[in-house]
Amino acid sequence: MSTVHTIKSVEQFNKLIEGAGENVLVALNFHAPWAAPCEQMNKVFSSLAAQSSPDTTLFLSIDAEELPDISESYEVSAVPYFVLLKNKQILDTISGADSTKLSTSLIKLSGASAAISLPPAQTTTSAAITTAAPEQQEEEDLNTRLSKLVNAAPVMLFMKGTPAQPQCGFSRQLVALLRERGVRYGFFNILADDEVRQGLKTFSDWPTFPQLYVDGQLIGGLDIVREEFENDPAFLKGA
């Protein structure tokens, strides 16, 4: 039975990584407290650890916002995000709340028993049956995903790049504006997922990025957010 090590510092992380044996699979779970899917996947991660041997797998839990140096080194652009590695070499990455993919990859790469199972709530969520046509179902699935993403945090920024490394001037300016106002926010790097990038344009009826959402509702891009701050100094205060 393995335990999940909660990482509190870069030093602790490096020590555990360095101490992992050659044949030990290291599973990294990047999460954030504001993201509901992370709460769900944290339970899955703990369940998988409880069914695994410490001789084969090391489980590390990392708050992506509290430890940005580690997050950036693994190019974490959205949470939940999982990295599986051996000898410091990345063997697989899983983005999003895909418990089946995580457990399957972990079993394959660690050589663990295939008897590993997911918590009941996880095994049933993928069993839903729909009679919709494939194209309709795909569109509905994307809209459901986008709806969850825009509501993942009270304030959500969809941008090009990450707050640490913006990939366009508008995203950089909006990040600076939010930082200046002390706004706590979640973010999603739309360059890392073209499905979200294209889908969000239709979903929000807004063709450009960055896009800022508050409580799941689109506020707009850089110019509109800047105008909101100028007109209302209390805009997003306490968010």
Distance CA 13, CA 55 (A): 18
Same domain, 68 and 169: no
Distance CA 55, CA 26 (A): 11
Identify the bridge partners of residue 14 per DSSP, sorted by sequence position: none
Which of 84, 107, 124 is where one domain is finished?
124
Same domain, 177 and 71: no
Same domain, 151 and 67: no
Q: Which domain holds residue 77?
A: 4-124
Same domain, 100 and 142: no
Which of 72, 102, 124 is where one domain is finished?
124
Note whether residue 238 is domain-resident. no
Note whether residue 15 is domain-resident. yes
pLDDT tens per residue, range 81-123: 899 999 989 999 988 778 888 888 888 888 755 445 555 444 3
Same domain, 47 and 101: yes
Note whether residue 236 is domain-resident. no
Return the structure tokens found at 45: 């991660």
Same domain, 117 and 137: no
Q: Which residue has the higher pLDDT, 233 or 6?
A: 6
**Amino acid at position 85, single letter:** L
Which of 124, 149, 173 is where one domain is finished?
124
C-alpha of 108 from chain center: 23
Q: Terminus-to-terminus CA distance in the chain, angstroms?
A: 40
Same domain, 16 and 109: yes
Note whether residue 151 is domain-resident. yes
CB-based contact 60:5 (threshold 8 Å): yes
pLDDT cut 90: percent of the chain above it: 37
Question: pLDDT grade, residue 2 (50/70/90)?
Answer: confident
- Residue 192: DSSP 8-state: G
Distance CA 42, CA 140 (A): 26
Same domain, 120 and 141: no
- CATH code for position 224: 3.40.30.10
Note whether residue 237 is domain-resident. no
Same domain, 106 and 169: no
> How many domains does the chain fold into?
2
Q: What angle do CA 127, 192, 74 make, to 5 degrees?
A: 95
pLDDT tens per residue, range 184-235: 888 888 888 888 889 999 999 999 999 999 999 999 999 999 999 999 878 8
Same domain, 157 and 51: no
CB-based contact 81:93 (threshold 8 Å): yes
pLDDT cut 70: percent of the chain above it: 87
| Cβ-based neighbours of 207, under 8 Å, separated by 6 or more | 201
Question: pLDDT grade, residue 32 (50/70/90)?
Answer: confident
CB-based contact 211:220 (threshold 8 Å): yes
pTM value? Answer: 0.56
pLDDT tens per residue, range 46-88: 999 988 888 889 999 999 878 888 988 887 867 788 999 999 8
Note whether residue 12 is domain-resident. yes
Distance CA 48, CA 71 (A): 22
Question: pLDDT grade, residue 140 (50/70/90)?
Answer: low
Q: How many CB atoms lie within 10 A of CB 96?
A: 18
